[in-house]
Chain A
């Protein structure tokens, strides 16, 4: 079955770049997503990448996809205190059942 893995914690100094990593096992993934969850709230869609792309940039966010290694990363440039949250990657397996498999989430802490 599908499996998506992330590191549980990441600490970054304010102003530095944050890189959150994700590995997945399902080679038939069509879209991969990044969601952000602030404390006590639901998940907010940040960005997504189609599986035939290597990179996608959206303002401070850069998504890199290495399909051969099944590795996805989210880079946040100039990290701010408002970026403190849990970040989830998720994959859609493309079989049309409209289900997502989520990673465990990475808690990003910003050090002043």
Chain B
């Protein structure tokens, strides 16, 4: 089955700790994205990557870091510098070689709670 997986589904972290969220896709998509979802605010873009070893900041990159060492993987690290990290995090990917290259496909999400 092709798709996007995110792990873990639920994550708890103590204040001051860094935590890494996993995102893997086997769709052979070029681009990958990380979003943060808060109630009533829709999706906000954190980081995105269109090619291996390259990524760009989105609208709310402060306190987050990413890497894109492999095409299939785009992990997100939530650092202790992120002031309000409790949220639902969504990973997505898209195939830039298709006509509908903007169409994004989403993983199931990771809910991060800071205790």
Please measure, in the bound complex, the distance between the C-alpha atom of A103 and the C-alpha atom of B105, giving whole angstroms.
Answer: 17
Please measure, in the bound complex, the distance between the C-alpha atom of A45 and the C-alpha atom of B109, giving whole angstroms.
Answer: 15
Q: A98-B94, A99-B45, A99-B48 are in contact. Are A43 and B100 (CB under 8 A)?
A: no
Interface string of B99-115 (1 = CB under 8 A from A): 01111111111010000
What's the nearest-Cβ distance from chain A to residue B58, in Å?
A: 8
> In the complex the two chains form, is B108's CB within 8 Å of A30's CB?
no
Please measure, in the bound complex, the distance between the C-alpha atom of A98 and the C-alpha atom of B101, giving whole angstroms.
Answer: 7
Please measure, in the bound complex, the distance between the C-alpha atom of A30 and the C-alpha atom of B101, giving whole angstroms.
Answer: 11
What's the nearest-Cβ distance from chain B to residue A92, in Å?
A: 4
The number of A-B residue pairs with CB atoms under 8 Å apart is: 55
What's the nearest-Cβ distance from chain B to residue A45, in Å?
A: 7
Residue of B nearest to A93 (CB): B102
Interface size counted on chain A using CB atoms at 8 A: 22
Residues of B bordering A, CB below 8 Å: 4, 6, 31, 33, 35, 40-43, 45, 48, 50, 58, 90, 92, 94, 96, 100-109, 111
The list of the 6 closest CB pairs from A to B, nearest first, reads A92-B102, A42-B106, A104-B42, A43-B106, A102-B43, A42-B108
Give the residue of B42, B45, B109 whose beta carbon is less than 8 angstroms from that of A41. B109
> In the complex the two chains form, is A102's CB within 8 Å of B103's CB?
no
Please measure, in the bound complex, the distance between the C-alpha atom of A45 and the C-alpha atom of B94, giving whole angstroms.
Answer: 12
Q: A98-B50, A98-B102 are in contact. Are A88 and B43 (CB under 8 A)?
A: yes
A44 interface residue per 8 A CB criterion: yes
Give the residue of B4, B31, B42 whose beta carbon is less than 8 angstroms from that of A103. B42
Q: Write out the residue numbers on chain B whose beta carbons fall within 8 Å of the beta carbon of A43.
A: 43, 90, 92, 106
Q: Write out the residue numbers on chain B whose beta carbons fall within 8 Å of the beta carbon of A100.
A: 102, 104
Interface string of A44-59 (1 = CB under 8 A from B): 1100100000000000
Residue of A nearest to B44 (CB): A102
Q: Write out the residue numbers on chain B whose beta carbons fall within 8 Å of the beta carbon of A24.
A: none
